[in-house]
Amino acid sequence: MKRIIYFLLFFIGSVAEAVACDLCKEKQPELLKEVAHGAGPEGTIDLLIMWSAVILVGGTLVLSLKFLIFPKEKNPHHIKYLPFDDAN
């Protein structure tokens, strides 16, 4: 129970520090005003890099969840069945 309380206190403290300060809010574009510190994307290339990373990470998340939930592997000798094998 102590570990959970310490974790929650640490998590809440970390989130409070991650929110941008007032000066940084003025420098950020509308999309990132409450999220990031420092100067935001300054040009077209910066935005292109940022959105490319967002699309890549989002696609990776969707595909990893898809293959985790629906693996489509029916072979009984597949490695995922090794922990359930009675011969071990």
pLDDT tens-digit profile, the chain (88 residues)? 778 877 776 666 655 555 667 777 677 777 767 766 667 777 889 889 989 999 999 999 999 999 888 878 788 777 777 777 666 5
84 and 52, same domain (yes or no)? yes
26 and 58, same domain (yes or no)? no
13 and 47, same domain (yes or no)? no
24 and 46, same domain (yes or no)? no
78 and 56, same domain (yes or no)? yes
20 and 48, same domain (yes or no)? no
- What is the SS3 assignment for 86? coil
The number of beta carbons lying within 10 Å of the beta carbon of residue 40 is 19
**Domain count of the fold of the chain:** 2
Query: What pTM was estimated for this model as a whole?
Result: 0.54
Distances (CA, A) of 46 to 14, 53, 54: 27, 11, 12
Q: By residue range, what is the domain housing residue 33?
A: 1-40
